[in-house]
Structure 1
């Protein structure tokens, strides 16, 4: 009996029961890993949104009533800066601590026992971070326009800008979680870094307002490019400056994926 069959659609003969193409297996693996990550946050999404939105929203109101200058440029900077703030709370602070704690408890030993690609697993974590960040960023954008009486310029370019920016910040949080030797150090590093990248980089202020040293070090952090891209895309639409920032952030995402694939360990000592 022949183990081949003829396809009238393609005119070719293929083996019956042949295994799927490698790229299809990779997609299936990513989909399964994503569903696992989605199940972990599905029951906590209300608290995630509230936790990620409360602090930036409070800062938004504070700057609304106590800022002496309310020009359109300043108002846009305040709104987009707090959108970045909401992004770093979940993408850097919370995600880094969650990954470090799960690693300490041995959650990832299960994945280490499976024929799962580290790169695909990291990508699934990136998508998880993306899902937890999107609601708070959107909420801050909507409330910010309403509170300050502004209307953003909407364009199709917002989609890649927001996605790439979110992934860049999520990459920082993932690296902190996996590369930190302990959950305590991950928590300290994530919270300290969140304060630095939000208040000592041109997120809520202009780069000229920072000391000379911070003006140079600010460009080491992706939030500098995220904040600039946010400000431009909501006022002028897609420009060459936005494209430049997206190229830099894409490179940062690639570096994060490379380092995690090479340096990531499934377990923690001690």
Structure 2
């Protein structure tokens, strides 16, 4: 099982290894472009929102769009070439593709927080960073499942599928209270925002950065999304 997943990951990271300019753009300039403009606009008290928002945004956008794009192209071609050469289960294929995005997502998160620590005196310790990386990993896993759903059951045309995935990813990170405090929303919209898994992820991440208590409702929501993702990955596929 693990051999298949690792092999698929190597296949899909080959392009990045052979095109370092593209890789550098994805892990450095893209995350910083999500961070710097908003850091300029907000005061220091709200920087935790921006750092967590940028980390979740970069991971969500890259994962959902990449997974859906690959799956939709495979669906459009009516074949998955890797399945021809050896017996590979669908969940192994999805995890392999997903891992190829996880590596540069994690590096992007490192770039975001390194920029804050080195240039903005953003205070964060190792334990907080480890907690944030766990949050990012969970977000990546859920985003893999969502990308698979869009790629598999979205529009057949890969271009339309890619556009749909991009729009959903942006809604999950900019409409949901990821970059801004949930308290800025009216009460009824606060409740609706919990339909987005990115809301609970961002609230947990912000609580970690600010040394606040993590509300269990956010943990329960993430556990529900994780359970659904596992069912999709191992049962539906």
Superposition TM-score, scaled by structure 1 size = 0.72
Q: 1:258 and 2:228 equivalent?
A: no
Deviation, structure 1 residue 106: 4.5
User: 4+ runs of 1 displaced by more than 6 Å?
Assistant: none
- Given the superposition, is the C-alpha separation of residues 170 and 234 from structure 1 closer, same or farther in structure 2, using an over 3 Å criterion? farther
Superposition pairs for residues 58-137 of structure 1, below 5 Å? 58-67=33-42, 70-72=43-45, 74-106=46-78, 108-111=80-83, 114-137=86-109
CA contact (8 A) 1:154 1:234 kept: no
Aligned residues: 234
Question: By percentage of residues, which structure has more helix?
Answer: 2
Q: Which has the higher contact order (CA 8 A, sep 6+)?
A: 2
Superposition pairs for residues 185-200 of structure 1, below 5 Å? 185-200=160-175
Q: 1:36 and 2:11 equivalent?
A: yes
CA contact (8 A) 2:31 2:109 kept: no
CA contact (8 A) 1:122 1:257 kept: no
Gaps of 5+ in 1: 1-25, 265-270
- Given the superposition, is the C-alpha separation of residues 201 and 90 from structure 1 closer, same or farther in structure 2, using an over 3 Å criterion? same
CA contact (8 A) 2:17 2:23 kept: no
Deviations 1:161-213 (A, max 9, x none): 33223222333223222332321332221121122112211101111223455
Instruction: Choose from 114, 120, 123 the match for 1:151.
Output: 123
RMSD: 2.9
Counterpart in the other structure of 1:164: 138
Counterpart in the other structure of 1:181: 155
Gaps of 5+ in 2: none
- Given the superposition, is the C-alpha separation of residues 149 and 42 from structure 1 closer, same or farther in structure 2, using an over 3 Å criterion? same
Task: State the distance in 2 between where 1:78 and 1:185 align.
Answer: 30
